[in-house]
């Protein structure tokens, strides 16, 4: 085999990997749609700009965020929550693009969660050095629905822990086009992203875009 073929960012074949009961890594599942998804992200960001939210403790998050859908995730001095209104514009968040809905539904089904219909898409933008500390996704009204997470652009190392903060975490490299689906008994596992290293990607430059689809309300 010519290993140089796989030296490139996006040339390895699609594959899926079982992470634990309820969690799957679908490698390069978003590759065919990468440009269309990134174009839709640009559209969303024209109406709801990327911003660095404040944590309840008053720290500026290193990751810049925006949202699409009838619900958006918000963090400020009052805490974390979902809200139908973008606090920056005072208007509803941009509608979820049909492409997003269809893609999230298909990825969830591939991982064994049929009938997923998200109402929130949180879009994270990482510049070199940006990170996400270990956390649980628990602001949603019900944990009966999975989360679908799409990684585009610069690679990152995903930390995947257990149900307690102190449980050991494994390190999972996430490359352009990779999708993680997460639900059932894995839904409340702690996870995070290590500081992203600079390694410019042809489509995004020195940035990583992550979309997470959720059923929030």
Q: Which of 212, 213, 215, 216 lies at the binding interface for ligand MD6 (CB under 6 A)?
A: 212
For Fe ion, the nearest residue by Cβ is 137
The distance of closest approach from Cβ of residue 172 to ligand MD6 in the complex, given in angstroms and rounded to an integer, is 10
Per the CB < 8 A criterion, the answer to whether 116 and 79 are in contact is no
Whole-Å CA distances, 212 to 43, 131, 168, 173? 17, 15, 23, 17
Q: Pick from 120, 117, 50: which is nearest to 88 by CA?
A: 50
191 binds ligand MD6 (CB under 6 A): yes
Q: How far apart are CA 186 and CA 146, in angstroms?
A: 9
Q: Is 24 in the site for ligand MD6 (CB under 6 A)?
A: no
Closer Cβ to ligand MD6, 12 or 172, answer by number: 172
> Considering the rule CB under 6 A, would residue 149 count as an interface residue with ligand MD6?
yes
In the bound state with Fe ion, the residue whose beta carbon lies nearer, of 135 and 197, is 135
**Quick one: 164 exposed, middle or buried, by C-beta within 10 A (0-12, 13-18, 19+)?**
exposed
Find out whether 121 and 94 touch, Cβ atoms under 8 Å.
no
DSSP 14: P
We find the least distance from the C-beta atom of residue 42 to Fe ion, in angstroms, to be 23
33, 34, 119, 137: which one contacts ligand MD6 (CB under 6 A)? 137
Contact status: 193 vs ligand MD6 (CB under 6 A): yes
CA atoms within 13 A on the CB side of 29: 25
Which residue among 27, 66, 71, 124 contacts ligand MD6 (CB under 6 A)? 124
Which residues bind to Fe ion, rule: CB under 5 A?
137
Which residues bind to ligand MD6, rule: CB under 6 A?
124, 132, 137, 147, 149, 158, 180, 182, 191, 193, 210, 212
């Amino acid at each position: 085999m010519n290993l140089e073929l796989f030296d490139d960012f996006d040339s390895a074949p699609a594959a899926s990997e079982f992470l634990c009961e309820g969690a799957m890594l679908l490698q390069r599942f978003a590759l065919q749609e990468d440009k269309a998804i990134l174009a839709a992200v640009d559209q969303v960001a024209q109406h709801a700009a990327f911003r660095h939210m404040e944590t309840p403790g008053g720290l500026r998050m290193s990751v810049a965020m925006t949202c699409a859908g009838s619900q958006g995730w918000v963090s400020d001095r009052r805490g974390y929550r979902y809200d139908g209104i973008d606090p920056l514009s005072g208007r509803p968040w941009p509608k979820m693009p049909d492409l997003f809905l269809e893609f999230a539904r298909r990825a969830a089904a591939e991982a064994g969660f049929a009938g997923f219909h998200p109402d929130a898409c949180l879009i994270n933008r990482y510049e070199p050095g940006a990170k996400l500390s270990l956390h649980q996704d628990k602001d949603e009204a019900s944990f009966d629905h999975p989360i679908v997470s799409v990684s585009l652009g610069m690679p990152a190392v995903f930390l995947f822990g257990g149900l307690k903060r102190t449980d050991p975490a494994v390190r999972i490299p996430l490359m352009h086009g990779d999708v993680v689906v997460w639900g059932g008994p894995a839904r409340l596992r702690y996870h995070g992203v290590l500081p992203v290293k600079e390694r410019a990607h042809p489509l995004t430059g020195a940035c990583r875009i992550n979309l997470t689809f959720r059923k929030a309300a």
